[in-house]
Copies of this chain bind each other. A is one copy, B any other.
Amino acid sequence: MESLILGSSDIIRVVRHVGLDRLMDEAIDAIEHVCMHYDPVRHQVPARAGFAYNDPHPGLLEWMPAMQLNDKVVVKLVGYHPHNPGTHRLPTILSTVLSFDTASGHLLSVTDGTFLTSLRTGAASAVASKVLALPDSKVVGFVGCGAQAITQLHALSRAFEIERILLFDLDRSVSDSFKSRTAAMGLEHLPFEILNMQEVVGRAEILCTATSISTGRGPLFEIDNTRSNVHVNAIGSDFPGKTELPLSLLENSLVCPDFTDQALVEGECQQLSVDSIGPDLVTLIKEAGSYHRYRQAKTVFDSTGWALEDYVVSEVLVNFAREYECGSSVALECNSADPGNPYGFLQDNAVDRTKDEPGLAAATQSLKRTRLG
């Protein structure tokens, strides 16, 4: 039984065949679809758990499992190491996704989760924004212009006719490089304005906060000068004690978490009582019509990252990979023709492989000799 391995170069091939725009569109559709059809018995998504540590740098390694009954278990392993860009020239977020067949526990695929995490985090914001932001929103603002902001903009650009992009980052080189990093999106004709934070916050019709603010150091800004009908995608709050938005803004907004139990622990919802939290993403999508009136009001999507988003977006990637024959098939699991013999694969596979590998043929003979005494 083989497993599909989908690494970086395979995902390049998938993107070559499918295109980034269609991939994002499919990710948005997949998240909308699973929310619309979400069933608490069929879909099981425990709150994520993980290890947090400060040695050698602050870091977090988490597992995010999700199951669709009678189909697959998908487990995303994801690291959050804010020193990575400076220390290792690696992204803050690195991730791998495994999917398993619930019929047998067989590993179906191992895929990169780094690109997937960016993609689905953008897509989820687009899904929420389509319900909660004014459909003719044209001005998108970013506080925090790092990696996550790129796919936020890409996803929003698939759902809104963006005409103006407002940028603030504590590190001026990051806001300066933002436009060049969005080169794949066909937005280069638009004005990208670098402003101070309060100007971005005050002028954006859709605001995205995606910073690495330290725990206990929030909010990003004290004065809520957002527009009366702003929609905010709050991305950065994803750890106990880490929040970005001022309480006054949350209290004057309809706050929709992706996953309420998790948002209460890690998201902006940490600042709220359960009673004052709005619908979760599933409810928002299932009952979208009844929430459209909030487009006239302040709204916040509290995005902590939901394992079922990873489940469905990894399916999008894997399905395209299979369609276009990207990736490699590897017999990862040592399973024997005789399931009662955990050492049986040493004989089975060795014999299989002797066809093309004379060195191994000799070794197999030697194994056999050992076995036969």
Contact = CB atoms under 8 A, between A and B. Distances in A.
Contact of A98 (B96, B115, B154): B96
A165 to B, nearest CB: 16
Contacts of A217: none
Contact of A53 (B69, B80, B104, B154): B69
Interface in A24-38: none
A342 B183 contact: no
A336 B98 CA distance: 21
B57 A103 contact: yes
A317 to B, nearest CB: 11
6 contacts: A87-B104, A88-B103, A98-B98, A150-B341, A184-B343, A186-B373
A115 B349 CA distance: 14
A56 B101 CA distance: 11
A79 interface: yes
A190 interface: no
Contacts of A338: 177, 181
Contacts of A353: 9, 12
Interface in A332-365: 332-346, 349-350, 353, 360, 363
A365 to B, nearest CB: 11
A118 interface: yes
Contacts of A118: 342-343
A280 to B, nearest CB: 21
A225 interface: no
Interface string A85-112: 1011111111110101011111100111
Contacts of A77: 75, 98, 100, 107
A5 B147 contact: no
A262 B174 CA distance: 47
A183 B372 contact: yes
Interface in A13-51: 13, 15-16, 20, 44, 46, 49-51
Contacts of A103: 56-57, 59, 81, 88
Total copies of this chain within the assembly: 2
Interface stretch (A60-68, A125-133, A241-249): A60-68
A335 to B, nearest CB: 5
Which 4 residue pairs across A and B have the least CB separation, nearest first?
A: A79-B105, A118-B342, A115-B334, A85-B339
A106 B94 CA distance: 6
A366 B119 CA distance: 21
Nearest to A368: B183
A49 B371 CA distance: 38
A331 interface: yes
Contact of A337 (B9, B13, B89, B346): B89
A90 B8 contact: no
Given A332-B96, A373-B188, A349 B105 contact: no
Nearest to A117: B342
A78 B93 CA distance: 25
Given A61-B105, A349-B9, A371-B184, A91 B51 contact: no
